[in-house]
Structure 1
Amino acid sequence: MHQTTGVAIIGAGPAGLLLGHILGQAGVPFTILERSSREHVLGRIRAGVLEQGSVDILAELGLDARLRERGLTHHGIYLQFERQRHHVDFQELVGRTVTVYGQQALVADLLAEHERLGSRIVFEAEDVEPVGIAGKRPEVIYTKDGEVHELACDFVVGADGYHGICRQRVPAGDLQVFERSYPFGWLGILADVPPSTDDLIYALHADGFGMHSMRSLEVSRLYVQVGPDESIDAWSDARIWDALQTRLGVDGWELQEGPITEKSITPMRSFVVSTMSSGRMFLAGDAGHIVPPTGAKGLNSAIADVAMLGRALLDHRAGDSTGLDRYSDRALARQWKVQHFSQWMTEMLHVHHEVPDASARAFRYRSQVGQLEYVTGSEHAMRSLAEQYAGLPF
């Protein structure tokens, strides 16, 4: 079956869904192809911190009704070390905030609005294959319910994640990959208990990193540093709470415990490609870059990509192709700043148990404590952290 559209978007995560809204509100036809089912897309549990710029984009597009109702605005974060907690006030330092709002909630909002508008989204699209991206009229071939479809378009956008097909279709000689794996992972839990903190807590402890976040006023999200290859089966609920109590504990404060409803271990890595475009195909989000979660940049980087790409596609329709020509360079220039910040936060807050020499390991830990003492004792250092955490310009 032959079909046509303006922009073929591969992937119905937050990047693909948001780009669809940017295009749709400008009257640009688009089709979103997603290999998974609608239920699977809605069930993905991912990041939950939105930068100020991400919130502003959603507001500009009129997609923030539930976000304004249920999102939790935070004016800063706590940095904790040596059983002392220090507040970094973003509002006071740079006049910006962040908002805690689960990625799955954002995806549900974006998808519900697409369904209300009757957008063309194809779930369970199999064997998706972009072809002819070097020409003027590329196609995306896919199978749905056993029938092969050929979708002709002006542009292809690969918002299909790290394991997606689009990046694989960039000619090998045109693409270089920069990647780093970290020697630790995060064991994350969701617990049915109100948060024990008003702002997120990032804690360095001799046993390893600990973090207290939240998903709502009723649900807490917490993390402990573990080895990247550890089995979740080795971590009973009691062991998890014991580790959290130890790593997050300070005098005069109590971590409330509750039923754990979800737990998983996520390895940590950094990944960036050398180009976000190839012919008439453009990459966005995890298809082009991944950050460790410490700096809360994954979801926000995807939103930044599609904000830039969406504007560039609209400008192209108006006769100005400058934005499309510069998209890859602009997106990657921002991304490398984000990568630096995420790596800095990760290195500063995680214990390097992999270092075999005890003396070297202790030296590294003490230097991290010194670094945190400097950051929390310097207004200039705190302002730099606040500026980057609350979000660089799009």
Structure 2
Amino acid sequence: MTGYWLVAASALALAPAAHAQDIAVKGEEIHTMAGPVIRDGVVVIDDGRIVAVGPATTTPIPEGFTVVEAKVVTPGLVDARTVVGLAGYLNQPHDQDQLDESAPLQPQLRAIDAYNPQEALVAWLRGFGVTTIHTGHGPGALISGQTMIAKTVGNTADAAVIVEQAMVAANLGPSALAESGKAPGTRAKQMAMLRQALISAKQSDAAKPASGKKDGDKTDADTPPGLETKVMRDVLAGKLPLLVTALRAQDIMSALRLKQEFGIDLVLDGAAEAYLLTDAIKAAGVKVILHPPMMRQYGEFENASFTTGAVLRQAGIPFAYQSSYESYVPKTRVVLFEAAVAAANGLSWNDALASVTIDAARIIGVGDRVGSLEIGKDGDVALFDGDPFEYTSHAVGVVIDGKILSAAPQ
């Protein structure tokens, strides 16, 4: 049996990945996340897309297709919030682009302009079955910039990206307070500055040319809006969700008030004390990208709990897990491990897997493409030699957009 899995892993390691292939992935267990587990199943991928999923006995493999096998097959994992690709593993100034501290409000900063698809951490995450990441600017500023969604493959940012502008990343609480008398110096100032940015964008959008304007006359409405204003207009219009990192209950409530005041699409990030506010979060219709369960429990995370995912699930609040931001090496966590801990602390096995596959994909807005093994979706598959949540198991490889890729060294 051991030799069998070595053969499967070797096939993945040696297979070319230059272009989409015609692939059939066979598994003793296939967790599609769109229905029951398929025993002795197969996923057929043609030209980068899934064209068939089902039991091997009733799902024919076309002649000439490359066949790879694994004990357990899942959708490619989705990391719902990270800074990988902007923050690098060396932890040196030249590979730390996740935060610009020159101003507190910088919604115009685009993640794609700083993303490095060849950063070693991208391949490292892929080695654990992660095929899609929602990455971008991290905590440390009131509005630190934008996020993007990318596949963990590709030599350029343009080749990797699937959503160039995903969300606008804002931060509440101590991590986004300025020092030396600069703004924002308090939580109240944080909220006032966020409100002002939204009000200014609304007023700019509502400005109209004065009646009776003569040729050559100019009004404020004729002046093209700045990049900051354009982005905040998109937030107000619901084109870009505002991703608010809020850990304490008081900051979570401030974020919910902002949503109510402006009618924006709000996604809570971190939400360490969300278990105290389940009724308010559910009533607001807000989705949560929850902190990693194993996040160090100090500072704003001192009241974090391993069981928060189970509490949110029971309350009917959509949530996903993330690798988040790590200030020290190796600069990222692994959502596979975080979901495994949640599965040992009140969350069902299937819900834990959903939190890093289909639920994560839906929350970041790409559930129509990734997160489950269904006909028409991207050919993104993770292959394991055992139960993915067991520490003795390994990701033996992945398929991304119909390309077979070996697992990175672990």
Q: Structure 1 length normalisation: TM-score?
A: 0.26
Between Structure 1 and Structure 2, the one with more helix by share is 1
Between Structure 1 and Structure 2, the one with more strand by share is 1
Q: Structure 2 length normalisation: TM-score?
A: 0.25
